């Protein structure tokens, strides 16, 4: 069973580190165009789940199907990225001494294997795509500013823009709103919902206000398995979720 209509299917995935089960028969299905929030206490296995999807960590048992066919556990990290799975880590890693525009342009070129822009001319389609991405990540008015001069939240958005330039079919986003202002956090919820109109997005976050703003299906992990899954109201009313996570 590969769940042919899913974009991602973690099937019974387990992995141990020094005898400690970081993931314990974890099964999660993400539908095409879905935006899914992953919550859970520290050590629940959220990061390990992302590491398994991107091929950074190999599971001991279980499989991970992408688009209902490819088993990602057989591929290495570069091949998985090439298939269209992008990941944004918690800390923004933008090129501070480059402009906002150039950061997106560099990401666009990197996708094509072009590492020097010296002799490379952007096509008009490329320019339009960069403009479109800048609008999506709320940075059109900052396009000529150095990335170093952006706020923390804007740097997070810029990095999301750089990932969009690689046209991922599935985007994994790790704690995007940590350290953001309330206004940036609220805007990020809207932004991610817009992005999820054209791709699937999995977001790991602790900020429950943000999770509520997203208003999407939530998976709560604990001890490497799914503790509860459903709407935020459903999940946050689950006594085990309260005991293991929310009530702490």
User: At its nearest, how many Å lie between ligand ADP and the CB of residue 159?
Assistant: 19
Identify which range of 40-48, 67-75, 76-84, 153-161 contacts ligand ADP by CB under 6 A.
Answer: 40-48
User: At its nearest, how many Å lie between ligand ADP and the CB of residue 20?
Assistant: 6
Which of 106, 102, 116 lies closest to 146 in space, CA to CA?
102
**Which of residues 6, 47, 219, 236 is near ligand ADP by CB under 6 A?**
47
Of the pair 20, 119, the CB lying nearest ligand ADP is at: 20
Of the pair 47, 67, the CB lying nearest ligand ADP is at: 47
Of the pair 52, 100, the CB lying nearest ligand ADP is at: 52
Q: Does 22 bind ligand ADP (CB under 6 A)?
A: yes
Residue 138 contacts by C-beta under 8 Å, 6 or more apart in sequence?
Answer: 154, 157, 187, 191
User: At its nearest, how many Å lie between ligand ADP and the CB of residue 17?
Assistant: 3
Cα–Cα distance, 176 to 152 (Å, whole number): 10
Of the pair 13, 104, the CB lying nearest ligand ADP is at: 13
Q: Does 77 bind ligand ADP (CB under 6 A)?
A: no
Of the pair 165, 211, the CB lying nearest ligand ADP is at: 211
Identify which range of 37-45, 125-133, 137-145, 239-247 contacts ligand ADP by CB under 6 A.
Answer: 37-45
Cα–Cα distance, 99 to 103 (Å, whole number): 6
Give the HSE-up count for residue 17: Cα atoms under 13 Å, Cβ half-sphere: 8
User: At its nearest, how many Å lie between ligand ADP and the CB of residue 26?
Assistant: 11
**Which of residues 1, 42, 69, 144 is near ligand ADP by CB under 6 A?**
42
CB-CB neighbours of 64 under 10 Å = 24
Residue 200 contacts by C-beta under 8 Å, 6 or more apart in sequence?
Answer: 7, 8, 30, 31, 32, 33, 34, 35, 36, 169, 170, 171
Cα–Cα distance, 40 to 50 (Å, whole number): 14
Whether residue 212 contacts residue 235, with contact meaning beta carbons closer than 8 Å, is answered with no
User: At its nearest, how many Å lie between ligand ADP and the CB of residue 232?
Assistant: 18
Residue 54 contacts by C-beta under 8 Å, 6 or more apart in sequence?
Answer: 77, 80, 81, 85, 87, 172
For tokens 């398995």, the residue is 225
Query: Interface with ligand ADP by CB under 6 A: which residues?
Result: 17, 20, 22, 40, 42-48
């Amino acid at each position: 069973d590969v769940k042919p209509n899913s974009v991602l299917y973690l099937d019974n995935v387990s992995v141990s580190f020094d005898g400690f089960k970081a993931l314990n028969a974890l099964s999660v299905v993400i539908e095409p165009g879905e935006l899914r929030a992953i919550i859970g206490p520290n050590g629940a296995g959220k990061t390990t789940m992302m590491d398994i999807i991107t091929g950074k960590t190999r599971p001991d048992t279980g499989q991970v199907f992408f688009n209902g066919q490819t088993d990602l556990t057989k591929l290495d990290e570069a091949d998985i990225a090439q298939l269209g799975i992008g990941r944004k880590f918690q800390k923004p890693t933008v090129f501070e001494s480059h402009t906002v525009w150039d950061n997106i342009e560099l990401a666009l070129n990197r996708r094509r294997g072009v590492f020097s822009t010296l002799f490379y001319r952007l096509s008009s389609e490329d320019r339009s795509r960069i403009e479109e991405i800048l609008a999506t990540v709320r940075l059109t008015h900052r396009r000529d500013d150095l990335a170093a001069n952006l706020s923390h939240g804007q740097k997070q958005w810029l990095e999301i823009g750089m990932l969009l330039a690689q046209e991922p079919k599935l985007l994994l986003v790790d704690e995007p709103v940590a350290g953001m202002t309330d206004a940036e956090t609220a805007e990020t919820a809207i932004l991610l919902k817009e992005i999820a109109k054209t791709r699937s997005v999995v977001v790991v976050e602790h900020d429950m206000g943000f999770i509520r703003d997203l208003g999407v299906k939530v998976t709560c992990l604990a001890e490497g398995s799914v503790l509860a899954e459903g709407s935020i109201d459903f999940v946050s009313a689950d006594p085990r979720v309260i005991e293991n996570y929310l009530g702490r």
